[in-house]
């Protein structure tokens, strides 16, 4: 057991994987000499050299495509996209190549590719650097989507992703990089399993990534008035651990889904639909959703805070179900 930050946990997992397997390499914008836009890869260039820590041009479609090609050629590339908004430039490569080649080749080819990117708001980076678009990727069959919310998961889920034979997309909420916590050495954790972060009997809060801390804070506030909120951290959006969701909702009989994406077409809507399909008779109230305001993310701090889910709005949603 060791204490470190979220960014250090990712860096440690990358270092561990690269030392263990010479096929693993990192490529992306500013990952080398600069040390990464979020300082995740700081120091790795000195240790592994420019062949394995590769700075790329500002051309997401090109270097994600190069990562797919390297994976097809037997390498284990880790591609870092600076922010999720920029990843839209590579969606053609993701949807039409990475996700489809195993199927279109009749299983002859696999694409063991890991793509990491920063997601979410809360850092005053305005509308081109602050959105949560994970549900767009979770919509695509053929890839896996993980959303580590803790320091231990940042390490464990990345190592698990590097062991997968098919593409895995890792969404790292940008506010989490300085988060401190404990990690455990050992085998990688399994992809596709949610975690019950707090037990409760009155309502279930279902979330992932950067909203976990807000849900935990909301649960603390609710506990002060005698309301027990159970907190589910999805960890993985595809494949989704529906069993944990349904078991919790069947116990508490109320659910609030907290998702930093826009409400319309959000992953929260998918979770809500699953609960309605599989646990309708267990519910004592309609499923509620807490999402971001339907606007491009504002720059001004007070406006950004108002646009994002907050502990107070989560508490209000739970009270509305009781």
The residues annotated as belonging to the active site are 60, 129
Return all residues near 22 (Cβ < 8 A) that are at least 6 apart. none
**Residue 5 bridge partners (DSSP):** 180
Structure tokens of 133? 């678009």
CA dihedral 95, 97, 100, 101 (to 10 degrees): -170
Distance from the Cα of residue 83 to its chain's centroid: 12
Q: Where are the alpha helices (DSSP H) in 170-225?
A: 212-223
Report which of 295, 120, 99 is spatially closest to residue 209, judged by C-alpha positions.
Answer: 120
Alpha-carbon span 79 to 65, nearest angstrom: 10
Instruction: Judge if the upstream peptide bond of residue 33 is cis by omega within 30 degrees of 0.
Output: no
Edge-first strand listing for the sheet containing 24-28: 53-55, 24-28, 76-83, 114-119, 168-173, 144-146, 236-238
* Rounded distance between C-alpha atoms, residue 228 and residue 79, angstroms: 41
3-state class of 131 per DSSP?
coil
Q: Minimal CA–CA distance to 109: which of 141, 68, 146, 162?
A: 68
Judge whether 63 and 56 are in contact, CB under 8 Å.
Answer: yes
How far apart are the C-alpha atoms of 145 and 88, rounded to whole Å?
16
Assigned token pair, 115: 């793509």
């Amino acid at each position: 057991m060791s204490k470190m930050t979220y960014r250090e946990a990712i860096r440690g997992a990358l270092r561990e994987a690269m030392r263990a397997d010479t096929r693993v390499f990192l490529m992306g914008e500013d990952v080398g000499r600069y040390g990464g836009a979020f300082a995740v890869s700081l120091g790795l260039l000195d240790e592994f050299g420019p062949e394995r820590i590769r700075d790329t041009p500002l051309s997401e479609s090109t270097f994600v495509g190069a990562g797919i090609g390297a994976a097809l050629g037997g390498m284990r590339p880790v591609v870092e996209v600076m922010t999720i908004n920029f990843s839209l430039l590579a969606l053609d490569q993701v949807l039409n190549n990475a996700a489809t080649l195993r199927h279109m080749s009749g299983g002859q080819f696999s694409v063991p590719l890991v793509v990491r990117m920063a997601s979410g708001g809360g850092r005053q980076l305005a509308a081109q650097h602050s959105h949560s678009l994970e549900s767009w990727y979770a919509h695509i069959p053929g890839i896996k989507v993980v959303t580590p919310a803790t320091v231990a998961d940042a390490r464990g889920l990345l190592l698990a992703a590097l062991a997968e034979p098919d593409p895995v997309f890792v969404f790292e909420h940008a506010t989490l990089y300085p988060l401190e916590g404990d990690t455990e050495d050992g085998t990688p954790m399994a992809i596709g399993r949610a975690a019950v972060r707090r037990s409760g009997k009155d309502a279930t809060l279902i979330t992932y990534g950067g909203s976990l801390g807000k849900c935990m804070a909301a649960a603390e506030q609710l506990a002060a008035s005698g309301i027990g909120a159970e907190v589910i951290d999805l960890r993985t959006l595809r494949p989704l651990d529906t069993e944990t969701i349904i078991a919790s909702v069947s116990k508490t009989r109320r659910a609030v889904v907290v998702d930093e994406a826009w409400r319309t077409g959000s992953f929260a809507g998918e979770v809500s639909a699953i609960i309605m399909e599989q646990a309708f008779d267990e519910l004592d109230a309609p499923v509620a959703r807490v999402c971001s305001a339907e606007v491009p993310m504002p720059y001004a701090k007070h406006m950004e805070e108002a646009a994002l889910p907050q502990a107070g709005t989560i508490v209000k949603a739970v009270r509305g179900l009781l």
